[in-house]
Structure 1
């Protein structure tokens, strides 16, 4: 071989490697929790708010969950050698699907050797309908490496995803990856199995159970049922803490069902899906831990990623502020105006994207261990501002709907889970029922 031909072959090989690397990393976006994080849709080459022609449908979020922190016990090995089968529940059906995987809290690259998606054979099970099992690819490759602090969106795969169904998203990593980015206290059981069982439709090997979602943070579908997404941003009251595990009885679940039923009946309501970005303990102003990125990032920090960055978002619903009050170092030095200012900042950022924002009053917590005359006064002051109409475009009065009429500092007894902070399933249903669907219509007010 001549030197010239050798150089030519070497150049061709380099070009091929570069092309393959570009394909593997296509769709990767920064996932550091920054409120200015570039939307995933922009990384895919679309605006994130564009609607596909009616003949093909529109990409919408059918499920999502916010990354919270690195899973304890996975700091070194991650969960290498295990297939992680996440069970997620859909708010809208579609003819194609794509998945977002996050390595936000990873400290080293995460290599996913294989991943799959399938519709569950039955609810709350690791068994898949074998006819729907599909291998996920990333830039055409069955494997992908996600850098620390980043996320990636899979290629779209053709699969019929029914609304109000369980979907299984399974990942397998063969090598240690460090901390597993996860969402704990999911109120949904997911599964794990030894070895690469990503395309195994049977549940037999999936003997490990966890109430957490690992790596997966979003499922989008190409839908003819919905043409936009409602993002509900909140704390444990939105995440559904104390609701029945596996029952999908969080208030955003109830809202999604109501919105779909109303649209199907011909009511003049938006045809939107609903996704849940609630994190237990979340606050408007401060993170829930130390580190870079911080665990349980504040709403002001995660807003770009968890709200504005969701697929085809049209409306953001914000139910936050209780933890700013209850977890304050000294409630006597906290000002309700600080919480309200934070909420207004979120609204302004959403308005800058042309998005409508609906808020919620803070529900009572009398009887909870953080209750005092000071914390009650702060709650009332925040609610007064919300009811004034000077914070959100519209609001749901969850406080009025769930409080005891004879002692408005507390929940009505049948709406109380028993801890005096979180609702019962009946209470969550009430929240979803009193939400005015008309409030989801329209866009942000014109900027003067």
Structure 2
């Protein structure tokens, strides 16, 4: 199959990539890339002990779905757990006023989650568990509340989470998983244990693989204004499979893209297309020398090609996005411009070398026209790398609309 990298233009689509409009199946409508929780991101005392976490704890979290359906089910991950994860009870409900990051739920909306008909489940080390379907109609862009209770907790300090939730979760002692409100609960801006929400729908999903710029650093806590949240007119589910500090080639915060591609894209239900917007951390952490940056450029381009090859093998289209500026960032900028030269060369390859099935020029959307190695001042959080909600809106508007059909 011939690939074309013209802006917003995709290659011919094999029949296997076309989902019948009258056929419903289980697709992911929300995801959070599982990570090993760093010590600073573990639940606060008393919910973390000397050798265990979440003992006799109720954990309430909200998520923002992207595609609707009449039934939902939930995935709980123990990908990085150091011991089995025993879930005593779990429930789903609608958050009060439909808001994200609130501890209260709409009275009467709570539905118990079961696992093979049982009220509890134990997730083995490295595994995940999928709940039974729940008849709870949910609309596109709605928020859902997921509450779990762990009686014995997890006998380890190796906990699976997604630290960059940009959404407040709540912890409280005792079994209160059906409580309408949780007065006195402790709020933390992390997600724990949950990794996916699925709906029964007749639309496909696009996995977005990225780093902190997609995870939403600089966005508003409980505001759901990361750039994937601000994409308008999508008729597909948009799955945020990003993590701050993530890299394409080497492990950083979470496994590298080449290592996590199978889990986060190829094995994620409903995905028939993906967008990769990642590489800035590879460039920024490689030494600012001619030889190091030349080697990094070759390896990064090769990695993109490997991602495309592996995705095409299972009939998934692959789109690429250009890397946005970081000029002036204290950690990644370099006075001799070697890293900027690599960014420019990577973007040129993305735009012109026919690596991907289509290209989104995020660089052009947010760079300063007068100083193209820097972000527009109105989009910059101040660290000259991450974007504010206005900048993320510009990114969202640069996603070609044909990809969203």
Q: Which TM-score band (shorter chain)?
A: 0.7 to 0.9
Q: Shift of residue 364 of structure 1? A: 0.5
Instruction: Select the residue among 339, 343, 350 that pairs with 2:304.
Output: 343
Q: Shift of residue 106 of structure 1? A: 0.9
Instruction: Select the residue among 206, 211, 219 that pairs with 2:189.
Output: 211
- Contact 1:50 1:312 (C-alpha < 8 Å) held by counterparts: no
Compared CA separation, residues 195 and 244, structure 1 to 2 (3 A): same
Instruction: Select the residue among 300, 308, 323 that pairs with 2:258.
Output: 300
Q: Shift of residue 424 of structure 1? A: 1.2
* 1:177-233 CA-partner distances (Å, limit 9, x unpaired): 11221111211111111111111122325x21111110000011123xx51111111
TM-score calculated relative to the size of structure 1: 0.79
Q: Which residue of 1 aligns with 2:198?
A: 220
Distance in 2 (CA, whole Å) between partners of 1:145 and 1:440 is: 37
Greater fraction of residues in helix? 1
TM-score calculated relative to the size of structure 2: 0.88
Distance in 2 (CA, whole Å) between partners of 1:52 and 1:116 is: 32
Compared CA separation, residues 210 and 69, structure 1 to 2 (3 A): same
1:137 aligns with 2:95: no
Q: Shift of residue 120 of structure 1? A: 0.9
* 1:16-54 CA-partner distances (Å, limit 9, x unpaired): xxxxxxxxxxxxxxxxxxxxxxxxxxxxxxxxx996983
Compared CA separation, residues 399 and 102, structure 1 to 2 (3 A): same
Q: Shift of residue 90 of structure 1? A: 1.3
Q: Which residue of 2 aligns with 1:190?
A: 169
Q: Shift of residue 169 of structure 1? A: 1.0
Larger radius of gyration: 1
Distance in 1 (CA, whole Å) between partners of 2:275 and 2:326 is: 21
Distance in 2 (CA, whole Å) between partners of 1:285 and 1:182 is: 22
- For residues 5-404 of structure 1, the aligned pairs below 5 Å read 54=22, 57-72=24-39, 73=42, 74=48, 76-122=51-97, 123-124=99-100, 125-177=102-154, 178=156, 179-205=158-184, 207-223=185-201, 227-255=203-231, 257-259=232-234, 271-288=235-252, 296-329=254-287, 331-332=289-290, 333-334=292-293, 335=295, 336-369=297-330, 370-372=332-334, 373-404=337-368
* 1:279-332 CA-partner distances (Å, limit 9, x unpaired): 0011000001xxxxxx51000000111111211111101001000011125554
Distance in 2 (CA, whole Å) between partners of 1:52 and 1:149 is: 34
Distance in 2 (CA, whole Å) between partners of 1:240 and 1:316 is: 18
SS in 1 for 2:71: strand
Q: Shift of residue 351 of structure 1? A: 0.5
SS in 1 for 2:393: helix
Distance in 1 (CA, whole Å) between partners of 2:404 and 2:289 is: 34
Distance in 2 (CA, whole Å) between partners of 1:50 and 1:211 is: 38
SS in 1 for 2:135: strand
Query: What number of residue pairs does the alignment pair up?
Result: 372
- Contact 2:360 2:398 (C-alpha < 8 Å) held by counterparts: yes
Compared CA separation, residues 407 and 324, structure 1 to 2 (3 A): same
- Contact 1:71 1:182 (C-alpha < 8 Å) held by counterparts: no
SS in 1 for 2:70: strand
Distance in 2 (CA, whole Å) between partners of 1:107 and 1:50 is: 40
- Contact 2:82 2:159 (C-alpha < 8 Å) held by counterparts: no
Compared CA separation, residues 331 and 238, structure 1 to 2 (3 A): farther
- Contact 1:68 1:182 (C-alpha < 8 Å) held by counterparts: yes
SS in 2 for 1:131: coil
Q: Which residue of 2 aligns with 1:24?
A: none
Distance in 1 (CA, whole Å) between partners of 2:137 and 2:108 is: 10
